[in-house]
């Protein structure tokens, strides 16, 4: 039995000025995408367009179709320019390459960083060399995950974010590296025992973080934006999903706590604290999103720290 075809009249207004941008007649309702409707200015490429039901409301999703939205056959939508966009992959590669290179410049003590007599000298403390290996491993892992593991639900972000993100990552990398690789640096107060314990914590959390990223990747088929509830797998490092919604942040925090313990360096501790605050904000937001989207979401989970936060 055939279904009658319904046509829509779609009006697009500027969200700020309420000026009419375009009018579309006889838009078919069946699986008709709302996003990326033609607008007068060619600079408004699809990635920077936000189409909304309300001027101050949330952007419609890529999957939204006319017949599933609370509109009549004559529909009015509001357009907002999101500004110049850049791909997530480009941002991640840029912000992670910086710390990797910057740290090594301090480690090799290139000229104009410390006094001339220390140019291209090496530290006598083995923890300095270990810290360099751990720091480099961490950012190499991030770069490889960006290229081969992560699947992004959104292809782009505002261009301005790359400057903010790079300032954060590159600046902290330089600050930490300056003190850890300084000729007057002193090792942790409890010596090898403290360093070995810190290394175990760091490596354990790095493996855990990678395991969570793999588990999250497997939840989303290539090219899909499907969202599912993440559950523990056969990998023991994923069992923390029983207690927290964002264990990737939990393990990330653990890694930097290990690096802080290993180096006993105040800038590292401050970077860990700032990172923890930011990851807590992200984890709480994702936790709320899970609770809102899935009625059967496990009630015992906390956002980032089991039973606490």
pLDDT in tens, 108-167: 999 999 999 999 999 999 999 999 999 999 999 999 999 999 887 777 888 888 999 999
Residue 62 — very low, low, confident or very high, per pLDDT cuts 50/70/90? low
Residue 248 CA to residue 211 CA, distance in Å, equals 8
Q: What is the pLDDT of residue 32?
A: 43
271: which residues sit within 8 A by CB, 6+ positions away? 172, 175, 176, 256
Q: Could you tell me the pTM of the whole model?
A: 0.85
Determine how β-strand 49-52 pairs with β-strand 74-81.
Answer: antiparallel
Residue 210 — very low, low, confident or very high, per pLDDT cuts 50/70/90? very high
Residue 284 CA to residue 249 CA, distance in Å, equals 11
Are 123 and 185 spatial neighbours (Cβ–Cβ below 8 Å)?
yes
Residue 81 — very low, low, confident or very high, per pLDDT cuts 50/70/90? confident
pLDDT in tens, 220-264: 877 677 789 999 999 999 999 999 999 999 999 999 999 999 999
28: which residues sit within 8 A by CB, 6+ positions away? 5, 6, 7, 8
Residue 64 CA to residue 59 CA, distance in Å, equals 10
18 φ/ψ angles, rounded to the nearest 5 degrees: 65, 15
Summary mean pLDDT of the chain: 87
Most confident segment among 7-16, 33-42, 103-112: 103-112
Say whether pLDDT at 272 is over 70.
yes
Give the chain's radius of gyration (CA, Å). 25
The pLDDT of 95-116, averaged and rounded, is: 97
Say whether pLDDT at 31 is over 50.
no
């Amino acid at each position: 039995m055939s279904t009658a075809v319904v046509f829509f009249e779609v009006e697009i207004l500027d969200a700020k000025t309420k000026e009419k941008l375009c009018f579309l007649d006889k838009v078919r309702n069946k699986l008709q995408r709302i996003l990326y409707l033609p607008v007068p200015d060619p600079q408004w490429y699809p990635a920077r367009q936000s189409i909304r039901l309300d001027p101050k409301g949330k952007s419609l999703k890529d999957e939204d179709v006319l017949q599933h939205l609370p509109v009549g056959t004559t529909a009015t939508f509001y357009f907002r320019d999101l500004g110049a966009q850049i791909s997530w992959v480009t941002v991640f590669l840029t912000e992670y390459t910086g710390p990797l290179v910057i740290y090594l410049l301090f480690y090799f003590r290139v000229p104009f960083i410390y006094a001339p007599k220390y140019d291209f000298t090496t530290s006598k403390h083995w923890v300095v060399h270990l810290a360099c290996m751990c720091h480099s491993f961490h950012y190499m892992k991030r770069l490889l995950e960006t290229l081969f593991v992560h699947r992004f639900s959104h292809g782009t972000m505002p261009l301005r974010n790359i400057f903010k993100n790079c300032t954060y990552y590159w600046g902290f990398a330089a600050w930490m590296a300056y003190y850890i690789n300084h000729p007057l640096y002193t090792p942790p107060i409890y010596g090898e025992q403290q360093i070995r314990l810190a290394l175990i914590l760091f490596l354990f959390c790095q493996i855990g973080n990678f395991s969570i990223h793999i588990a999250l990747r497997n939840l989303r088929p290539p090219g899909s934006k499907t969202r599912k509830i993440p559950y523990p797998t056969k990998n023991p490092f994923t069992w923390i999903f029983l207690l927290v919604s964002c264990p990737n942040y939990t393990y990330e925090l653990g890694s930097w706590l290990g690096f802080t313990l290993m180096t006993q360096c105040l800038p590292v501790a401050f970077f860990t604290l700032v990172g923890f605050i930011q990851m807590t904000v992200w984890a709480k937001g994702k936790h709320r999103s899970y609770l809102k989207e899935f009625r059967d979401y496990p009630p015992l989970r906390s956002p980032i720290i089991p039973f606490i936060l």
